[in-house]
A and B are shown apart, each in its own frame.
Chain A
Amino acid sequence: MDARGLAEQLRPLLGDEAIITDRQRLRTYECDGLTHYKVTPALVVLVETTAHVAAVVRACAAAKVPFVARGSGTGLSGGALPHVDGVLIVMSRMREVLEIDRASQRAVVEPGVINVQLTRAALPQGYYYAPDPSSQQVCSIGGNVAENSGGAHCLKYGFTTNHVTGLELVTPGGDVVQIGGKAVDAPGYDLLGAIVGSEGTLGIATQVTVRLTRTPEAVRTLLAAFPHTDQAGAAVSAIIGAGVIPAAIEMMDALAIEAAEAAVHCGYPEGAGAVLIVELDGPTAEVKHQFDQVEVFCRDNGSFEIRIAADDAERSLFWKGRKSAFAAVGRISPDYIVQDGVVPRTALPEVLRRITAISQEAGVRVANVFHAGDGNLHPLVLFDDAVPGESDRAEQVSGAIVDLCIEYGGSITGEHGVGSDKAKYMPRMFSDDDLDTMQLVRCAFDPSSISNPGKIFPTPRLCGEVPGRHKGAHPLADAGLGEVF
């Protein structure tokens, strides 16, 4: 049976209105936040319950039809790119915050809940959800789980994987499994650790239990302008070297500042070759002391203007320029590629100089926005697709930046995920044996490779019967496996 056949099979359960087969409507789902990859799915289903998801996945499994789960579609690596013969399962109708359990510092949510909505739901009780990707106004918790999303504040508070304590998972076989819960350290393998960040290749999360974080007593934010990224980078090293762990340290270079000014008029200091946004939070006395230190480090390293946010409104203005940077680049360039490489923090100044050299040599402009505290770069490679050859040159520059990150012992992706976009770079970072080993996990969860196939791994591993003798497996294993496969 193909995906269209599945539509008829699922119609009685989901209802007409939840099944999309019309070509025009299907095309509205052809891409996620990475818009230059486009694939029209064979079928789109809008699910509302775990039972819906399980039924759709079971039908897919029986028919060996691939499926892709999609949250808000804001991903930047093509992780939710549909499969041409597959079913796109849209999770955004599952958007209930099921429980805010203040006493145990947990929330239980459906995967379609928007990141910032969870924080809004918890704030009245003095809590918030710490991971805050720049897209937090629109991105979903389910998508965050798939991508192990970070955000500006993950320097201090960690990523999605550090905040998820439980999941309800629909396995690629269509079983509903409870993993973890409100308590930590469930016995057995750390399946949560494997699933969070697996980009939808190990199943679909239908309920998520997360840690809530107590709001800090004090938050202080400063914006420091420097003549050049070198000095800003030195200030970052001085801050971290002094044992200060800010909630966030963000940097933008001149071109990124220009774009942000054009788009949102954030009023950053004129003539800055780089700005740093440093945010500290925690107990008031602790923050005050560290904030004074940070100011000194910025001045000592050549900052010519330091602004301190007087209130929440001013803090929001500082952040507005930063959080809108990607979109803002659209004001100064028709097209751009966002990279997400990571380098050891101490290598930042050198890597930035080499990016400048690469950019000048190729005649391709690169704007730099990044999470300086943890060395996560977001170079925006600018080009005009209408000019012949420009997109190829941009792609080459982009690839060269990825190589730089690997050369310095970093990573090809810090928070956007591998998805469709960076699968081709995986062999530059990992050996065949490394990738083969990762795919053992894939084979354990999804031996038929129907859950978001084609993502992460450039070459899929066949999950056939493992060669060799099977020693008398434990009876539980046999019983268990009998049900899974």
Chain B
Amino acid sequence: MDDVILEHLCAATGGHAVGATEADAVDSMPARWVAVPVSTEETAAVMRVAADHDLAVVVRGSGTKLTWGARPERVDLVLDTTRMDAVVEHASGDLIVAVGAGRRLDDLQTGIVGSGQWLAVDPTRRGTVGGLIATAATGPTRLLHGPVRDLLIGVTVVRADGVVAHAGGKVVKNVAGYDIGKLLTGSLGTLGVITQAVFRLHPLPEARRWVSVPVTQSDRSRAPFDIHTLVQQVVHSQLVPTAVELDRPASGSVTLCLLLEGFPPGVESRTAQALDLMGVGATAGDNAPGWWGAEPLVGGEVLLKLTHEIAGLAHLLTALDDVCAATGLTAHLRGSVAVGAVTVGLAGAVDADTLARCVAGLRERAPSFGGTVVVLEAPGELKADLDVWGPVGGLQLMHAVKRQFDPERRLAPGRFVGGI
């Protein structure tokens, strides 16, 4: 039977299907086959084979975030999108690009930079376009340019039953029909296989300056409020920063850094204003700090994502410090504090029990900062019994959506919220 399935997968992909190896395991769940379709049509054919043989399918791009979410209950087939990597259309005058889901982001950016444009997701990385949408993993510039959902204007998706559908289009302003693209954004491959996407692009700024200020932490209990006060000053200014990032290692110097972009004379004068606003010790530079947009995984493997009301930052930092003190873990926080979304790398003696206590502690305190706590990444043995997603509003509606799109739970079963 296995041979028959492989034969069908090869027929669907012009021979681009093989038996899986250990390296194809998803979050240490072994897979049986890998299929690498080159087009939407081939993807649809693969999904029909999966439907005929009841195969659980996990979609993979560069595989950089394959361990996000819970471990899938089963993985039969890894659907690799990396052959669908064509730039289908770059209409520079209209500031849009249509691109295959398997295109790497760094390749995409390199290809369009010549026209003075970019897809406003930083920093550049090797993950694919499809992975970008599936994970909604964005960077510092989301403050001004919006998260992935706001950049995506059109999408082609293959449903679990092999039906091909489009939503949105090639123009930014468009309210015809439901916005399926937003529903797919951040869905971790549980609603369909994205094969092509259309994004709005932004002009590359002529000038960029990063303005950083160290925040002294002589009194660690007082520090969260000092950081909050500084962030509030920036947030309510009229400087229109492209990004406002906080880097707060477990110990040592805390840095708040904002990015100013625009035309050279404008950026120059805004930089002066920012230096004034941010006070003693503030400096301006032409390059991003080394940590800009990087995941704060220093000596650890556990990555959390925390969201907060913009004004809830001090409570979040205090909660984090308290929970770390109680569990003996150390936390490195970094992220977009003017948006209200940060990541936390945990290190120290992390075992399943400690991590569970840490996450539970943070969730208990979450109402104080008005946000949520999600475990993005953790070694399999640590998250086996952990609810990585936490409480979810509207979960019943989400289950209903999943049941409509994938009634047989074929797409990454168990990976998403509430066991979806």
Contact = CB atoms under 8 A, between A and B. Distances in A.
Interface stretch (B9-17, B160-168, B208-216, B276-284): B160-168
A101 interface: yes
A474 B407 CA distance: 12
B418 interface: yes
Interface string B379-420: 000000000011011111111111111011100001011111
Contacts, number: 322
A152 to B, nearest CB: 12
A477 B339 CA distance: 32
A375 B172 CA distance: 9
A189 B169 contact: no
Interface in B225-258: 232, 235-240
Contact of B166 (A285, A346, A430, A484): A430
B394 A179 contact: yes
B8 interface: no
A237 B93 contact: yes
A183 B340 contact: yes
Nearest to B272: A285
Contact of B266 (A187, A286, A375, A474): A286
A409 interface: yes
Interface string A235-249: 001001101010000
Interface string B152-180: 00000101000111110111111111111
A483 B396 contact: yes
A481 interface: yes
Contacts of B203: 243, 245
B419 A433 contact: no
A194 B182 contact: yes
B263 A289 contact: yes
A285 to B, nearest CB: 4
Interface residues of A, number: 109
A371 B174 CA distance: 13
B262 interface: yes
Give the interface centre of B116, B202, B396 by most chain A CB atoms within 10 Å: B396
B141 interface: no
B91 interface: yes
A310 interface: no
A193 B183 contact: yes
Contacts of A416: 175
A350 to B, nearest CB: 12
B370 A183 contact: yes
Interface stretch (A2-10, A47-55, A462-470): A462-470
B196 interface: no
A170 interface: no
A124 interface: no
B107 interface: no
B398 A189 contact: yes
A431 B166 contact: yes
Contacts of A384: none
Given A103-B310, A215-B238, A290-B263, A480 B395 contact: yes
Contacts of A62: none
Contact of A484 (B205, B269, B396): B396
A407 interface: no
Contact of B179 (A161, A429, A471): A161
Give the interface centre of B159, B172, B173, B419 by most chain A CB atoms within 10 Å: B173
A436 B166 CA distance: 10
B392 A188 contact: yes
A396 interface: no
Interface stretch (B75-83, B124-132, B143-151, B321-329): B143-151
A285 B238 CA distance: 12
B361 interface: no
Interface string B297-329: 000000001011111100000000000000000
A374 interface: yes
B93 A441 contact: no
A333 interface: no
A286 B263 contact: yes
A414 B174 CA distance: 4
B396 A101 contact: no
B177 A183 contact: no
A400 to B, nearest CB: 18
A258 B144 CA distance: 39
Contacts of B339: 184
Contact of B398 (A188, A283, A442): A188
Contact of B401 (A214, A284, A288, A444): A444
Contact of A434 (B146, B177, B237): B177
B86 interface: no
A375 to B, nearest CB: 6
B75 to A, nearest CB: 15
Given A105-B235, A198-B178, A444-B400, A345 B204 contact: no
Interface string B77-102: 00000000000000101111000000
Contacts of A169: 394
Contacts of B402: 189, 477
Contacts of B269: 283-285
A41 interface: no
B174 A186 contact: no
B418 A480 contact: yes
A214 B169 contact: no
A476 interface: yes
Nearest to A150: B173
B366 to A, nearest CB: 9
B307 A185 contact: yes
Nearest to A446: B400
A252 interface: no
Interface in B92-121: 93-96, 116
B185 interface: yes
B355 interface: no
A330 interface: no
A182 B309 contact: yes
Interface in A232-286: 237, 240-241, 243, 245, 282-286
B265 interface: yes
Interface string A442-485: 11110000000000100000000010111101111100110111
Given A158-B146, A183-B340, A484-B396, A375 B171 contact: yes
A481 B418 CA distance: 12
B173 A477 contact: no
A480 B309 CA distance: 28
B405 A440 contact: yes
A139 interface: no
A289 B266 contact: yes
B408 A470 contact: yes
Interface of B: 91, 93-96, 116, 136, 146-147, 149-150, 157, 159, 163-167, 169-183, 185-187, 191, 202-206, 232, 235-240, 262-263, 265-270, 273, 305, 307-312, 339-341, 370-372, 374, 389-390, 392-405, 407-409, 414, 416-420
Given A105-B235, A346-B93, A418-B177, 16 more contacts: A104-B312, A158-B150, A184-B339, A188-B416, A189-B187, A189-B402, A193-B182, A197-B179, A245-B203, A285-B266, A289-B263, A290-B263, A411-B173, A411-B176, A477-B418, A480-B396
Interchain residue pairs A-B with the least CB separation, the first 9: A193-B182, A474-B419, A286-B266, A243-B203, A103-B311, A437-B165, A480-B396, A444-B400, A285-B269
17 contacts: A104-B312, A147-B175, A181-B393, A182-B309, A182-B340, A188-B393, A214-B236, A243-B206, A245-B202, A284-B269, A286-B240, A409-B169, A414-B174, A434-B165, A436-B165, A437-B157, A440-B401
